Amino acid sequence: MNGGMMHGMQNLTDDEKKSLESMNDTQKKEFFQKKMNEQKAKMDARDAVLDKLFNGESLSDADKIIVTEIKTERAKMKAERVQMDN
């Protein structure tokens, strides 16, 4: 596997990793393409929410869930950076 796929392996569940073991190359390619599409959709949704926030627009309940996810991930990243600095 190339470096990009290895990095992506870190974000897979144990079940997904186990399933990959029995996949042929075509199935693996399709699997990772699907994962990339899901990630792109997630990033596009986040961009749309951030644009709404920057423009002072109101957020839907779904948008508010995305904001909560962003806040949680940012807090986790900040904690990891603090831990690395110590």
pTM of the shown model: 0.70
Residue 18 lies in a domain: no
Backbone angles phi, psi at 15, to 5 degrees: -65, -40
Cα 63 to chain centroid distance, Å, stands at 16
Residue 4 lies in a domain: no
Q: Which residues contact 46 (CB under 8 A, 6 or more apart)?
A: 66, 70
Task: Give me the residue label for tokens 């990630």.
Answer: 39
Residue 5 lies in a domain: no
How many domains, the chain? 1
Which domain range does residue 81 map to? Answer: 25-85
Residue 33 lies in a domain: yes
Residue 81 lies in a domain: yes
pLDDT tens digits, residue range 26-83? 999 999 999 999 999 999 999 999 999 999 999 999 999 999 999 999 999 999 999 9
Residue 17 lies in a domain: no
- Tell me what pLDDT residue 8 has: 55
Which pLDDT band holds residue 11 (cuts at 50, 70, 90)? confident
- Tell me what pLDDT residue 86 has: 80
